[in-house]
Chains A and B, each alone.
Chain A
Amino acid sequence: MRRTVPLLVGFISGAIVVAKYFIANKALSTWGTNVISWRNIVAAFALGVGSINLIQTHLRKMARKERGWDASILLLISLVGFTVIGIAKGTTNPIYKWGFDYLYQPIYSAISSLLAFMITSASYRAFKVKDWQSAVLTVTAVIVMLGAVGVGSLLYKGIPRWSQWIMDVVNTAGMRGITIGGALGAVALSLRVLLGLERGYLGGER
């Protein structure tokens, strides 16, 4: 019963949404839209549960004065502050906007900018010509990198054209294959979930 009801609810919800896509019926369309809306409501509640977990984790860290507990104070102040201002005054409020423009966005961008450093060291390590496949990989990567910026045309005027050809023909062909395979895999997994054959998200088989 404890597993059967969730599986049944999942099957019916999924079946309604799939049927809504294929069958032009007003009642079905309304039910389908409602089911999709319920998903958003559940996601919102899950966000609440996640936020509570976040607060609990950091309060515990502060109470035990674990390493980095002072950062937890900042986290909780910003979490509560942004939430209160956003709900009370809306996201178009000047204070909320200030927080986004001068706190959230610069910090998030700074962390994300680490990607540039990571990609440089990863490329240095990964692009080693050990056999013909890695030679093709390295040469292709160099052409595309140089073709993406103006310096490529300074070195040789054909580089941007070659780069475009690699992206339009070679890359597109490969991506098509992976995308089709991935899409089929997603359909298969979704079918297994709908039919109750895939129970990993419920904690697996008993």
Chain B
Amino acid sequence: MDKNLALAFLAVFVAACYYGMTRTSKGIHIPIRRVPGLDAIEEAIGRATEMGRASLFIIPSGGFDAQAFAAFDILGYVARQSAKYDTRIIVVNGLPEAHAISQEVVRQAYLAEGREDKYDPNDLLFLSGGFNAGVLGIYEREKIGANFLFGSFYFESLTLAEAGSRTGAIQVAGTANTHQLPFLVAACDYTLIGEEIYAAGTYLSRNGAQIGSLIAQEIGKYVSIGVMLIGSLYLTMTSPAVRSLAGKP
């Protein structure tokens, strides 16, 4: 039963994606609300450039999941901005798979901006078990003007964000790990919450087909809200308290 429901929901979701992509391909403009965190990325890199400092991009060791892919999208954008402004970017990865991919993402970003000569693979670091200590060391040694933390964070989120705030860097963070969101919100200037990190690639690229999937997300949310309301009403109406009020056994 659970699998059938999941399959039905997936089918609805795919249909909604197709519907969204069809609408956007017809040139219909779909407004997307502002995400201050993503808008702040360019400002953060600009500020780092003015101060003559580097940007630091952190992809944690939490897990190679959808959040890591979302982080790559944002990394590509940050790397392109850094290449454009000729700002040094240091990328720290906690996962070996992410390290291999981020090397390619950053290299392609520099290539796209015609600044391949400025790409320095020594600025892309893989820190495994000593991730926390390694990043804290980078904060001390390098002068960081902008700090970006995106991905699947666990306990290290507050340590990195709070220590990052001491450097005076502008901090933009994002995670879908609900247990770390309060820490990042408290310590960072801008935080992307949950689904905002997954929409980042679409938001930054404004690709029509991708925006179609955002429409599917919205439809999915309305379906979830509808199901929750129906379920809540049903449980309330059939609860012993309400039934006794209605004089039913």
Q: B-contacting residues of A (Cβ < 8 Å)?
A: 21-22, 42-43, 46-51, 53-54, 57, 60, 67-68, 75, 104, 108, 111-112, 114-115, 118-119, 121-123, 125-126, 175, 178-182, 184-193, 197-198, 200-206
B69 to A: closest C-beta gap in Å: 6
Q: How far is the CB of B147 from chain A (nearest CB, A)?
A: 15
Q: Which residue of B lies closest to A114 (CB)?
A: B159
B53 to chain A, nearest CB (A): 17
Residue of A nearest to B198 (CB): A185
Bound together, the chains give a CA A178 to CA B100 distance in angstroms of: 31
- From B17, B72, B80, B220, contact of A201 by CB (8 A): B72
Min distance, Cβ A120 to any Cβ of chain B, angstroms? 10
B137, closest chain A residue (CB):
A68
- Alpha-carbon distance between A108 and B155 when the two chains are bound, in angstroms: 12
Task: Tell whether, in the assembled complex, residue A188 and residue B132 are in contact, meaning their CB atoms are under 8 Å apart.
Answer: no
Rounded to whole Å, the gap between the CB of B75 and the closest CB of chain A is 8
Q: Which residues of B contact A (CB under 8 A)?
A: 3, 6-7, 10, 13-14, 17, 64-67, 69-70, 72-76, 80, 93, 95-97, 99-101, 104-105, 107-109, 111-112, 122, 124-130, 132-133, 136-137, 141, 155-156, 158-159, 162-163, 176, 178, 181, 183, 186-187, 193-199, 201-202, 205, 207, 209-210, 213-214, 216-217, 220-221, 224
- A182 and B141 in contact (CB under 8 A), knowing A122-B162, A188-B214, A201-B72? no
Contacts A175-B178, A192-B213 given; indicate if A184 touches B195 (C-beta within 8 A).
yes
> B3 — which chain A residues lie within 8 A by C-beta?
21-22
Other A-B contacts than A50-B93, A200-B75, 14 sampled, CB-CB below 8 A, are: A22-B3, A22-B6, A43-B97, A46-B96, A111-B136, A122-B158, A126-B187, A175-B178, A185-B217, A186-B66, A189-B70, A198-B69, A200-B201, A201-B72
Contact A203 B107, beta carbon cutoff 8 Å: yes
* Contact status of A50 and B72, CB under 8 A, knowing A119-B158, A200-B201: no
| A49 touching B198, Cβ below 8 Å | no
A180 to B: closest C-beta gap in Å:
5
CA distance A182 to B67 in the complex (A): 10
Main secondary structure of the interface of B (DSSP, over half): helix
Q: Are B109 and A204 in contact (CB under 8 A)?
A: yes
Residue from B93, B95, B159 whose CB has the most chain A CB atoms within 10 Å? B159
Chain A min CB distance to B76 (Å):
5
Q: Name the distance in Å between B169's Cβ and chain A's nearest Cβ.
A: 16
**Which of A46, A53, A111, A191 lies in contact with B133, CB distance below 8 A?**
A111
Smallest beta-carbon distance A145→chain B, Å: 12
Q: Are B97 and A180 in contact (CB under 8 A)?
A: no
The number of A-B residue pairs with CB atoms under 8 Å apart is 184
Please measure, in the bound complex, the distance between the C-alpha atom of A67 and the C-alpha atom of B141, giving whole angstroms: 8
| In-complex Cβ contact of B69 among A46, A189, A203 (8 A) | A189
Which of A121, A190, A200 counts the most B-chain CB atoms under 10 A from its CB? A200
Contacts A122-B158, A182-B198 hold; do A54 and B183 have CB atoms under 8 A apart? no
Whether A203 pairs with B109 at a CB distance below 8 angstroms is yes
Nearest residue in A to B195 (C-beta to C-beta)?
A185
Chain A residues lying within 8 Å of B193, measured Cβ to Cβ, are 178
Contact, CB under 8 Å: B209 / A197: yes
Q: Which residues of A contact B186 (CB under 8 A)?
A: 122-123, 125-126
Contacts of B133 in A (CB 8 A): 111
B195/A49 in contact, CB under 8 A = no
Assess A193 versus B181: contact at CB under 8 Å? Given A188-B213, A188-B214, A201-B105. Answer: no
Q: Contact partner of B13 among A48, A115, A125, A187, CB < 8 A? A: A187
Residue of B nearest to A206 (CB): B112
Bound CA span A60–B209, Å: 45
**In the assembled complex, how far is the CB of residue B134 from the closest CB belonging to chain A, in whole angstroms?**
10
Within the complex, the shortest CB–CB distance from B107 to chain A, in Å, comes to 7
Contact A204 B137 (CB under 8 A): no
Distance from A191 Cβ to chain B, minimum over Cβ atoms (Å): 6
Contact B69 A200 (CB under 8 A): yes
